[in-house]
Amino acid sequence: MITFYNSRFVKFQYYESEEILQQTWNYTHHRNHLHFYQSIHQFLYIIDEYKTKKALIDFSNFTFCLDAQSQKWIEKNLFVKLAKKNVSKVALVKSKDHNTQDSLQTLFSVGMEQQPIIALFFDTLCEAKQWLTAKPVQGTSARRQKLAKKVSPGV
């Protein structure tokens, strides 16, 4: 594991053997959008450098409310760019804050619908890593797996 950056806001780690980039939000209250946007740019830069196809974002300590402007920015600067970088799977660990999680759930379900990426929320970091490292079921397309997960309760 390589730790690229570790601040009071965010930590980036790359797991070489699994080829997974993990972004962990450390700080629970951001004062403005600048820290958030900067962290997203760093995340994309590392994905580009290591050509990773799998990402894990740990939102468990994230309690930053995303306004409409931030949501549009994320759709344009994260979702679209992840697809262009050929990222295929994104595992997301749920926020402990209910309101934050509701907004993240809406953002990712709507924003990722237009992208060829499977993005799923998990209750724990362990579950998220297991899903990222699991081999796909033969004969099942990624799109069908994505739809099956959307209707599965508990995930």
Predicted local distance difference test score (pLDDT) of residue 71: 85
CB atoms within 10 A of CB 133: 15
CA distance 32 to 52: 29
Question: Of all residues in the chain, what percent carry a pLDDT higher than 90?
Answer: 39
Phi, psi of 25 (to 5 degrees): -85, 120
Q: Where are the domains of the chain?
A: 2-151
* Confidence label for 141 from pLDDT (cuts 50, 70 and 90): very low
pLDDT at 132: 95
**Residue 86 in this model has a pLDDT that exceeds 80:** yes
pTM: 0.82
- The dotted CATH code for 2-151 is 3.30.750.24
pLDDT at position 69: 86
Least confident of 28-42, 49-63, 73-87: 28-42
Span 55-77, pLDDT tens digits: 999 999 988 777 888 888 888 88
Distance, CA of 24 to CA of 107 (rounded, Å): 18
Q: Is the pLDDT of residue 81 over 60?
A: yes
Provide CB contacts within 8 A for 151, sequence distance 6+: none
Average pLDDT score over residue span 43-64:
92
